[in-house]
Amino acid sequence: MRLKSIDIGGLRTKNNVFLAPLAGYTNAVFRKMCYDLGAGLTFTEMVSARGLCHDNEKTRSLLAVADGYAGIKACQIFGNDPQYMRRAAESGDLAPFDLIDINMGCPVPKIYKNGEGCALMGDIPLAVRIISECKKSGKKISVKFRTGISEKHKFAAEFAKACEDAGADMVCVHGRTREKVYSGEVDFAQIESVKKALEIPVIANGGIFCAADAEKLMDNTGADGVAVARGAMYNPWIFAEITGAPVPDKKAWVASQIAATRALYGERFALVYMRKMVSFYIRGVKGASALKVRLLSLNSCDGILPLLDEVDF
């Protein structure tokens, strides 16, 4: 993997291996720990612009930043109203953030049917207005999108050029259409077409579950960097593996994650979240199925580490 710093409108990342936004997963603790493992940039979960404008506490809670986080602070927002998007970008809630990423790639039916996420790829003039309005906030702006909405109509380069012309400082392309969601092969050619069309940095996303996957994605697209999504849920140590940083003791790392999540979010959140995450971490381990049953029956975080003593990562 060819490591390098990325210049995002004057913001410089420590490298070009990013943690992509993941709804329900990229909370403040997970972001900091992935950054410490080697990720060059991390993003919040996607945050509703309308929710921020209406002072929704649950929405605001997604914007927490862990003590000691040393990286560029990046928030992903979603919505389909240019004015709400601008108001959110200019809000005090987003004042601590250096970079705002606009979600134009979420394929989830609830988001798509509401005209948000990937639906914006079907209305380029609206997408352009949203980017232009957010840019007026003075923040650096990136856009995450897909290769298209359907397999019959892929237009990543056209959409990307519109984003750049509207003022985007970086784009991230998930190499699948909305129709494919998260399955099927990543379309290298579509991402490559974006790289050839733009002057701003292009980040490739999709199908990265090991260091070799990251290398393959870079080699086949010419992208400036990669963004790891689901691969980080299963294996957050992937950032150390890709960047060549030391891989920590995994059990000790999970213990730290439990403690930090508990401290910031409380016992109930930490229990639900860590049961889910540890289930991912032990995927493929001998006896994982039986262990998951026991894990999901726990009613305290205190029971997680004793179970991990039975696991050989």
Q: Which residues are catalytic?
A: 106
3-state secondary structure of 87: helix
Question: 7-8 and 11-12: which strand pairing?
Answer: antiparallel
Q: Are 162 and 169 in contact (CB under 8 A)?
A: no
Task: Indicate the DSSP class of residue 151.
Answer: T
- How far is CA 156 from each of CA 28, 90, 128, rounded to the nearest angstrom? 31, 28, 14
Going through the chain in order, the beta strands assigned E by DSSP cover 7-8, 11-12, 17-19, 41-48, 73-78, 99-104, 140-146, 148-150, 153-154, 170-174, 202-205, 225-228
CA distance 206 to 183: 10
CA distance 128 to 146: 16
Closest CA to 25 of 43, 42, 45: 45
Q: What are residue 143's DSSP bridge partners?
A: 102, 171
- How many other β-carbons are positioned within 10 Å of the β-carbon of residue 75? 25
